[in-house]
Amino acid sequence: MARRPDRPGQRELPSRKGSCDAPPSTTELVIRNEIPQLALLSAAIERIGREHALAQKPLVQLQVTLDEIVSNVIKYAWPEGGSHEIRIQITVDAGNVKVDVADDGMSFDPRNTAPPAPPPSGQRRRPGGVGLHMVRQLMDSFEYTRIGGWNHSTLTKQCTIGTHTK
Amino acid sequence: MGASTLQISEVRAGQTCILALAGRIDSTNADQLTARVGKLFEAGEKNLVVDFKEVLYLTSAAFRVLLVATDDAERSAARFALCGVLGHVRELFEMGGLLDAFTIHASREDAIEQLR
């Protein structure tokens, strides 16, 4: 699977690991629009978390967010079907993690989905809309742009460094 | 990868079946849980508890499974409850607005007691 550091070398600097003044490092992944490919993404987040000694809680929140955003793209971006690429860029800069998810599917701003409606009385909750509703609460910022036929969802999370407490 | 990230083990306590989960529940493996729960209700299970104590995190894919399981339980006149919903996992239920969508017991012991 295609994965390349944007700035080769920087990501691996052992002496700067987990340090606040480490230079920004970017990991780029290109996956296909198939649900099992999400396992590559969660493995990458886990590895980045280890390399930068990010605390577990924000790391978990990033894992949940990426699963929600990318599974949404896989399910809805290409109603016509077919095999497509999803490009994910993860940048760690002084404990600030920025994730960019890009797809060339139909134009869709995930920030504007309605929060899940409370069920009519006597009826049960339906699952729709819950994922993006969680993402809006989990991340510090959630931006969207459409550039040259690509949707870009950009999310940031401030992660504390060096603590692994739950 | 995906196949080994969620472990499901089955424990019996009298008339109650406990599915103890460990790891993470996301869109790559939620189907495993759907299949397991579906099979138990099909086999006539009347008291099912899902224990989240060892779960690191879950996504909305897990909520989907649990909502379907709640419907399945109702259709087969079975009781379905959760326990061990703590820490990160509890926060995620809260953010999803789903804490009150399920019967949640404080601990496995409590769940077994209530479903006796």
3-state secondary structure of A166: coil
Q: Answer yes or no: do B2 and A127 touch at CB < 8 A.
A: no
pLDDT in tens, B32-55: 999 999 999 999 999 999 999 999
| Helix, strand, or coil (residue B83) | strand
For each of the domains in chain A, give its residue range(s) and CATH number, in order of start: 3-7+23-106+127-158 (3.30.565.10)
Interface contact A124, partner B, CB < 8 A: yes
Q: What are A87's strand-pairing partners? A: A30, A102
Low-confidence ranges of chain A (pLDDT < 70): 1-22, 127, 162-166
Residue A163, pLDDT score: 53
> Confidence band (pLDDT; 50, 70, 90) for B4?
low
Domains in chain B, CATH or no CATH each: 2-111 (3.30.750.24)
Q: Do B97 and A130 touch (CB under 8 A)?
A: yes
Residue B63, classed as helix, strand or coil, is helix
What ipTM is given for this predicted complex?
0.92
pLDDT of amino acid A23: 80
**Which one, of B39, B46, B1, B49, lies nearest residue B23 by Cα?**
B1
Structure tokens at A140: 């510090």
With beta carbons under 8 A apart, name residues in chain A contacting B28: 35-36, 38-39, 42
In tens, the pLDDT along B58-100 reads 999 999 999 999 999 999 999 999 999 999 999 999 999 999 9
Beta strand extents in A24-139 (DSSP E only): 25-32, 85-93, 96-103
Q: Is B57 at the interface with chain A, CB within 8 A? A: yes
C-alpha–C-alpha distance, residues A61 and A48, integer Å: 14
pLDDT at residue A89, as a whole number = 98
Query: What is the pLDDT, as a whole number, of residue A21?
Result: 60
Shortest CB distance from B57 goes to which of A63, A115, A126?
Answer: A63
